[in-house]
Amino acid sequence: MREYKSWLLWKYVPVEGKLPTKVPYCVNNYKASATNPNDWSTYDNVIRCYNAGGFDGIGFAFSEFDPYAFIDLDVKEGQGPSDIQKKIYSEFDTYSEYSPSGRGLHLIIKGSVPKDSNYGGVELYSNKRYATMTGNAMANNPIADRHDLLNQLFQSMEEKREKHNNINANVPSGEETQSDEALIELAFKYNSEKFVPLSLGEWQGRYPSQSEADQAYMNIIGHYTKSKEQTIRIYCQSELAKTDAKRKSPDYLKRTVNKAFDQKLPEVILNGYDPNAAVSSNQVKTADFDSANLGSNPNTATINGPVAQRLEPTPKDVNPAGTTKGMTPAFFKQLGVLGEVAQFVYDDSPRQIAEAAFLAADCFFGGIGGKAFNISGTGLNQYNLLLANTGYGKGAVENCIDRLVHYLIKYAIDKGHIVVANQLKNHIGPTFASGQGLIAQLAISNCFSSTLDEFGLLLAKISDPKASGSDIAYYSNLLQLYNKSGDKQTFKGVKHSKKDNDIPEIKSPSVTLALLSTASSYYDVVKSSDFANGLIPRIFTMEYT
């Protein structure tokens, strides 16, 4: 999960009449959205902000961009996990950690559900939601792929929810296991803050209406019994039920108690599991869950203290022997402003690769300041190639620079520097797939940088012996441009059949290209003629493995 740029921070925010809520924040201390990727950051960046203070924890924003889903087993204070919660924990057999309160358990799996499902102390979601992450593992297992099992659980929960939400449904009520007095005593003991004023009929200022107060009262009683009849009976003896006749009407009571039992954990059928039967698999894991004291031990399961150490970033680019492999961010510190941009790209990337961050920063400055270089009559043209496997984060080279330029242009416009904003737009060129596109960009700006993805495929096309005239011109332009950037050098113009399309001579063009490719697609097409013609020697190549 650390490889995804889906992390945010959160703070406890007081809510009148309720428990504090966990509000997500960006690393810039503005409130974050769990559905806006622009508000999320990398794991390491979030941890640095958390360690600096001012936040209560970190979280992960689940979205369509990651393969993960989240199961929240919520165990009420003073209670232990139910049989079905034990079964879910056992059957899913995946990474799990304590919630910030220490009274719940979070399970992370690979899979997705069609929509959120929150039923009776079990939450399922995989998109447009965020979850607090503590690193305080109960089962430090690998994250397991449980897509099919997750959807089986989802389907069962939704069927039970639909049945319970129908007030006309004949939902059987469970047996009474304790006296009314014993249940009321439990409510006073473990839910006193809410239950005491409700028992006295004091709901004004605490709930928008008495109907919501009635619902809250039944929710509390319903938590401690399986019997709807007992819940209704206790409610009817309360001060709340004495206010008017509506409170004791059969339809009102049935609708309210059904909603109360909708909060309770259903007898979900999971993989043929009978909740009343003995657990037959993963008994050791279930026993661990039994002994976890969830609900009765509100310990500090947040990322304070020892847990924060577990969330420290793991060293990157270091092999088991402890020796450095390839480039590291420490290299950036000696590069001044260029190094700061490289660090920005590195921090902002879903998968943090120092080589990619350096290449992006180098190309960014080449596009903006390339015209300032003129050494021995030779200007600056850079063809920088990064080879890495698919999914290794090459896209960050273009994406992060696009974001940086967006911020800079906005800043320039806000300060009234419209000319500077337009220059920035011209210095960062588009991706072009033809020689004409390259020349067209030169006509707009004689100093720019562009990113060309899948360069191996492009090279195969423009170096093919049967290449079209346009592709041959592309190859030729790449060769010529490299030697035409010096002072008083000129790249010859291009004549077209239509005079309006002619491109005049371009003085001292400075072209910087960020070329991206997989190693296999590049090495498979490179030919000896590409070396002899001088194209490959012009390309500065880094390979990340």
Distance separating alpha carbons of residues 383 and 48, to the nearest angstrom: 34
What's residue 189's pLDDT?
78
Tokens of 515: 């070329």
Tokens of 307: 């847990």
Query: How is residue 60 annotated by DSSP?
Result: E
What's residue 10's pLDDT?
94
The set of residues, in sequence order, having a beta carbon less than 8 Å from that of 214 and lying 6+ positions away, is 235, 240, 241, 247, 256
- Residues linked to residue 451 through DSSP beta bridges, in sequence order: 514
What's residue 80's pLDDT?
66
Phi, psi angle pair for 24, to nearest 5°? -75, 145
Distance separating alpha carbons of residues 154 and 430, to the nearest angstrom: 45
- Count the Cβ atoms, other than its own, within 10 Å of residue 359: 28
What's residue 240's pLDDT?
92
What's residue 497's pLDDT?
60
Distance separating alpha carbons of residues 439 and 501, to the nearest angstrom: 11
Tokens of 147: 């897509």
Sign (positive or negative) of CA dihedral 262, 265, 266, 271: positive
What's residue 284's pLDDT?
36
Residue 179, classified by CB atoms within 10 Å of its CB into exposed (0-12), middle (13-18) or buried (19+), is: exposed
Distance separating alpha carbons of residues 301 and 101, to the nearest angstrom: 6
- 493-530 burial: b if 16+ Cβ within 10 Å, else e: ebeeeeeeeebeebebbbbbbbbbbbeebbeebbeeeb
Contact, 391 vs 67, CB < 8 A?
Answer: no
At residue 427, the 3 state secondary structure works out as helix
Q: H-type helices in 93-209, by residue range? A: 147-165, 180-190, 192-199
Global pTM value: 0.43
What's residue 8's pLDDT?
95
Query: How is residue 293 annotated by DSSP?
Result: -
What's residue 167's pLDDT?
47
What's residue 400's pLDDT?
78
At residue 456, the 3 state secondary structure works out as helix
Tens digits of per-residue pLDDT, 495-544? Answer: 656 565 566 778 888 899 999 888 888 888 888 888 888 889 899 998 88
Distance of CA 185 to the CA centre of its chain: 44
Residue whose pair of structure tokens reads 């839910």 in the numeric block = 191
Q: Which long-range contacts (CB under 8 A, 24 or more apart) does 301-305 make?
A: 301/98, 301/99, 301/100, 301/101, 301/102, 301/134, 301/136, 302/56, 302/57, 302/100, 302/134, 302/136, 303/50, 303/57, 303/58, 303/133, 303/134, 303/135, 303/136
Q: In what order do the strands lie in the sheet with 510-517?
A: 447-452, 510-517, 382-387, 539-543
Phi, psi angle pair for 186, to nearest 5°? -65, -40
Distance separating alpha carbons of residues 206 and 156, to the nearest angstrom: 35
Residue whose pair of structure tokens reads 């577990």 in the numeric block = 310
What's residue 312's pLDDT?
35
The set of residues, in sequence order, having a beta carbon less than 8 Å from that of 148 and lying 6+ positions away, is 111
- Count the Cβ atoms, other than its own, within 10 Å of residue 267: 18
Tokens of 278: 């003995």
Distance separating alpha carbons of residues 212 and 198, to the nearest angstrom: 11
Residue 148, classified by CB atoms within 10 Å of its CB into exposed (0-12), middle (13-18) or buried (19+), is: exposed
- Residue type for position 120: G
- Residues linked to residue 490 through DSSP beta bridges, in sequence order: 507
Tokens of 279: 């657990």
Picking from 310, 328, 301, 313, the residue whose alpha carbon sits closest to that of residue 43 is: 313
- 293-313 burial: b if 16+ Cβ within 10 Å, else e: ebbeeeeebbbeeebbeebee
Tokens of 423: 């220059």
- Count the Cβ atoms, other than its own, within 10 Å of residue 372: 11
What's residue 235's pLDDT?
93
Residue whose pair of structure tokens reads 């809510």 in the numeric block = 15
What's residue 498's pLDDT?
58
What's residue 293's pLDDT?
52
Per-residue pLDDT of the chain (545 residues; tens, 9 = 90+): 999 999 999 998 887 666 678 999 999 989 999 999 999 999 999 999 998 888 999 999 999 989 999 999 887 665 667 767 888 888 888 999 988 877 788 999 999 999 998 776 789 999 999 999 998 888 888 999 999 889 888 888 887 766 655 544 555 577 888 899 988 988 887 777 788 888 888 888 888 889 989 998 998 898 888 899 999 999 999 999 998 888 888 889 988 888 777 655 444 444 433 333 333 334 334 445 554 555 444 343 344 333 333 333 333 333 433 444 578 888 898 889 999 999 988 888 777 888 889 988 998 998 888 888 777 677 788 899 998 877 666 666 777 788 888 888 888 888 888 888 888 888 887 777 677 777 778 878 888 888 888 888 889 989 888 888 888 888 888 888 887 887 778 887 666 565 655 667 788 888 999 998 888 888 888 888 888 888 898 999 988 87
Separate counts of helices (H) and strands (E) for the chain: 19, 17
Tokens of 198: 């409700």
